[in-house]
Amino acid sequence: MTFFENSAWQGHESIHHFHDPHSGLKAIIAIHSTALGPAAGGCRMWPYDNEAEATRDVLRLSRGMTYKNAMAGLPLGGGKAVILSGIEPPADDLFTVFGRCVESLDGRYVTAEDVGVTMENMRQVKQVTDFVAGLPSKDGSAGGDPSPWTADGVFLGIRAAVQHRMGKTSMDGLKVAVQGIGKVGYDLCRQLHSAGVELVISDVNEQRLQRAREDFGAHVVAPEQIVFQEVDVLSPCAMGSILDADSIPDIKAVVIGGAANNQLATEEDGQRLTDRNILYAPDYVINGGGIISVSMEYMGDRSAADVHTQIAHIPLRLDKIFAAASKQQKPTNVIADIMAEALVAEGASDLPVSQQ
């Protein structure tokens, strides 16, 4: 099978491979769509087993960013970067070199932090390119680490999903399983705990688990068991593809909503959830808080209050998806894709012929 015949390609505009022997950088930047604006999406650094795995990941993530940005109403297309990390600590100039890679794309791609990447890394990127966000905010302006904004949107989205599926306006007394207690997962746990939720958590990092156990009284289970807990809500906040033909039959939660990207292993898994009467909040809608913050920072002259206002629209968008899914008897992921693709197509039709 050729590259263009690969199903993961799915209409991408371009994909770029970068290698710098001095710093050891091996990076891939995928641009899925610029129909609505520059392709925006974070940079993920991960110990992929091989280049093929990294390529599949960046293609799926960049496509998801197109849909995420469209559904968030942002003037941005979709793109993503991955850096193939090894066991050794990264070279001091690795992100400076990565920044030059971003700069070479002449603004078609705007980067920010994602899994394995920090705000300090983005400050290094900023030294050589302006096509970057996720930098420290100043005097109440938009910006900074997007993780808390992602957690805000996920919390609001879970609350909306609980009301739709369970008819509850309060989450007090509910049980929620959170998979992954990183920056987003921890902040989500904080908000859920404040709302009276009983937490069940898992992570591969013992320090994170200990912190959440002490701060929120969370019950810790093994990572391979978190998906199958007797809870009301399952919130995936780690890596993707955890919802598949093997896991879905044994899921006991009636609502799924979390910060992880690409939670469904395949599109058909959305139907499997629907068949089990499990309400799925499409990942790229519920986890859009971070890119909303990044977008407003990048556009400039926006405040943290503006970010709050935009994130408050996430549950409203989910309500529309849930209602349409019920009316049309289709899975929520299919409805969300249809809505996102319509927005992108509308944006593409507005482009000059030379850019189409």
Instruction: Determine the average pLDDT of the residues in 301-329.
Output: 93
Tokens encoding 59: 């293609």
Q: Where are the domains of the chain?
A: 14-62+78-126, 147-287+315-341
Query: Cα torsion for 43, 47, 51, 56, to the nearest 10°?
Result: -60
Interval 118-144 mean pLDDT:
85
Neighbouring residues of 56: CB distance < 8 A, sequence distance ≥ 6? 8
CATH for 14-62+78-126, among 3.40.50.300, 3.40.50.2000, 3.40.50.10860, 1.10.10.10? Answer: 3.40.50.10860
Asked whether the CA dihedral 236, 58, 295, 182 is positive or negative, the reply is positive
Q: What is the pLDDT of residues 209-233, one digit of tens each?
A: 999 999 999 999 999 999 999 999 9
Asked if domains 14-62+78-126 and 147-287+315-341 share a fold, the reply is yes
Query: pLDDT digits over 44-83, tens only?
Result: 999 998 998 999 999 999 999 999 999 999 999 999 999 9
Whether pTM exceeds 0.85: yes
Of the chain, the end-to-end C-alpha distance in Å amounts to 27
User: In terms of DSSP H, where are the helices of the chain?
Assistant: 51-71, 94-103, 119-126, 147-166, 183-194, 206-216, 268-275, 283-286, 289-299, 304-311, 314-328, 332-349
Q: Give the helix, strand, coil percentages of the chain, each rounded to 5.
A: 45, 15, 40
- Right CATH number for 147-287+315-341 from 1.10.3720.10, 3.30.70.260, 3.40.50.720, 3.30.960.10? 3.40.50.720
Contact 40, 295 (CB under 8 A): yes
Say yes or no to pLDDT of 100 above 50.
Answer: yes
pLDDT average, residue stretch 78-92: 86
Residue that wins the pLDDT comparison between 336 and 3: 336
Q: Are 133 and 160 in contact (CB under 8 A)?
A: no
pLDDT of residue 352: 40
Structure-block tokens of residue 186: 């921890």
Catalytic annotation, residues: 80
- Cα distances from 349 to residues 35, 65, 72, 116, in angstroms, run 8, 20, 19, 37
